[in-house]
A = this chain, B = another copy of it.
Amino acid sequence: MEGTANADGRLKYQRGNNLLVFWSKSKMNRALSIRSGKKDGSSSSSGPPARHGFSLMSLRGNLQPELSKKLYKLIKSENHLIQAHEAAARERLSIGAQLSEWGEATGDDAISDISDKVGVILAEIGEQEDLYAHNIDDSRGILKAIRNTEKSVQPSRDSKAKIADEIAKLKYKEPESTKLVTLEQELVRAEAENLVAEAQLTNITRQKIKEAYAAEFAATIERAEKQILLARHGRRLLNLIDDTPVVPGDVRAPFGHGSQARQVMNDAEDDLKDWRLELDDLPSLDNTMPNLTTQRQKGGDHSILGGDTEAEHHTSVVQGAGSMADGSRISSGTSAGAAGQHYASSEAPASVLA
């Protein structure tokens, strides 16, 4: 790819320190292709804790036909990713509770009230982290459909090759053998069977890979938008703590913002309730979302199914996009909904946008 070099130069310059770290971990053309970053991939997968039971995994991996080995391992890694986010969710819940207990123990009424409510916000951030793990698990299930098809196509390829091989051998050894006719017939049948298998493979692969990662990206957006709401309200709570220093002997004025603190909590609840996921139409997503939501009894289904019902909010989003120079650019995700619709209609292939 001749474009890589100068592209890298540009990107490096553009993205500053963040990118330099990015680079230091990977090959220069990582930003355009990750393949050269093999070391990167392997080193990071060699990292995970022992409890993953890698020995057992790689053992099973070897029982996989060649065709499905790579995806088999990727699905395993998705599982480790899910475990990591579940652990993060657990710790968040624990930290929320501990912060509240600590605040109570300080005997400072302001710290006690705010730390308790910030603890609740942190716990809900943990709940969203856990919901995210569940959603990745659903997307992981979609990948298995590809892996299973890969598995089932391998024998069809093998038998076809085997018959062709027999025919070649036989033609060399005894060209007049009547068995050749039978084998030729078998080959035609095997080729027909394989033709169907290969068509099934490409159809399943393209549809499901879209579904799986569209769902994973949607889950990423859901967690992000909800955690932004919670974090912003958490900062409102912290604003209610008067941290002007006192001199020895002074007594703090009693905490006077209890009602404001409760209001922040109510706002946080209401914002979470009103939250809607706004995405451009990704056709395969229509199949995915039911999976994503029915398997789980969480707010996810509300938000995911509730698409464009929130006119007021939608308006503000469109305004945001209107003020952007380039509709295909996404401005801090704030006006991404509208931007999404813009590029979807202008850039994606018509066939995909039925």
1/0 contact string of A50-89 vs chain B (CB within 8 Å): 0100000000000000000011011001101101110110
Which residue in chain B gives the minimum CB-CB distance to A91? B81
The interface residues of chain A, by DSSP majority, are classed as: helix
Q: Indicate if the CB atoms of B312 and A102 lie closer than 8 Å.
A: no
A151 at the interface (CB under 8 A from B): no
Q: A275 → chain B, closest Cβ, in Å?
A: 5
Residues of B near A267 (CB, < 8 A) are 326, 328-330
Q: A34 → chain B, closest Cβ, in Å?
A: 4
Interface residues of A in 311-348 (CB under 8 A from B): 312-313, 315-317, 319-326, 328-336, 339-340, 343-344, 347-348
Which residue in chain B gives the minimum CB-CB distance to A130? B21
User: Once bound together, how far apart are the Cα atoms of A284 and B235, in whole Å?
Assistant: 11
Q: Indicate if the CB atoms of B88 and A348 lie closer than 8 Å.
A: no
Of B21, B34, B228, B241, which one neighbours A210 at CB under 8 angstroms? B241
Residues of B near A31 (CB, < 8 A) are 120, 265, 269
Which residue in chain B gives the minimum CB-CB distance to A354? B244
A185 at the interface (CB under 8 A from B): no
With contacts A93-B41, A248-B199 taken as known, whether A84 is within 8 angstroms of B81 at the C-beta atoms is no
Stretch in contact with the other chain, from A9-17, A159-167, A171-179: A9-17
Query: Nearest 3 CB-CB pairs, A to B?
Result: A41-B97, A18-B299, A228-B333
User: Once bound together, how far apart are the Cα atoms of A317 and B40, in whole Å?
Assistant: 38
Q: Indicate if the CB atoms of B229 and A336 lie closer than 8 Å.
A: yes
Residues of B near A250 (CB, < 8 A) are 199
A256 at the interface (CB under 8 A from B): yes
A182 at the interface (CB under 8 A from B): no
